[in-house]
Chains A and B, each alone.
Chain A
């Protein structure tokens, strides 16, 4: 069964304390892995797409990496405005663009 697991469920950081979020997946026919940011009461906002093992992408304090079994979202020197839920999703082979989502990691960054 295709599955996406994110860890930890929740993470509390002090401002400036770098850390990583994990997204592990067990799917057949990975076509891409997506990271989204979701603020409370809002829809997810696209951050990155990764397509192949070894690929890395960066945006401000965020860096996403991909291996054959998992992806990491590294947060360097986070600020309180980085507080949000971060969702990972994988696009799998099939008849349509099916995204399978993990449950997300709730990140809280305190000053």
Chain B
């Protein structure tokens, strides 16, 4: 079955440490996204990529970095510069450009990152 796989499900980060969250999709979608979800807030866009080897900052990119070397993969690195990284991180993908009914996002199951 096609879908998006995020790993790990839970991740703990020490102060000053960089961590990388994995996101893999087999939907053949061109576009991929990273969102951050905090309690009581809507999903906020961190980075997005419309095509391999290209990505753009979203609304809250500071302290994060990404790469898009393969169509299927869009890993997110949370760097030590991100001062408040504890949150639920969601990866999503979609067709690009939009085409018909199906251009909503498909989401992964999320990674919960906690600073210890």
Chain A interface (Cβ within 8 Å of chain B)? 4, 9, 31-32, 34, 36, 41-46, 49, 87, 89, 91, 96-104
Contact = CB atoms under 8 A, between A and B. Distances in A.
Given A96-B96, A97-B103, A43 B90 contact: yes
Contacts of A97: 31, 94, 96-98, 103, 105
Contacts of A99: 43, 104-105
13 contacts: A4-B42, A34-B104, A41-B112, A42-B110, A43-B109, A45-B107, A49-B101, A89-B43, A91-B103, A91-B104, A97-B105, A99-B104, A103-B41
Given A49-B104, A96-B48, A97-B98, A43 B40 contact: no
Interface of B: 4, 6, 31, 35, 40-43, 45, 48, 50, 56, 88, 90, 92, 94, 96-98, 101, 103-110, 112
Nearest to A97: B94
Nearest to B9: A41
Contacts of B6: 43
Nearest to A98: B45
A34 B94 CA distance: 13
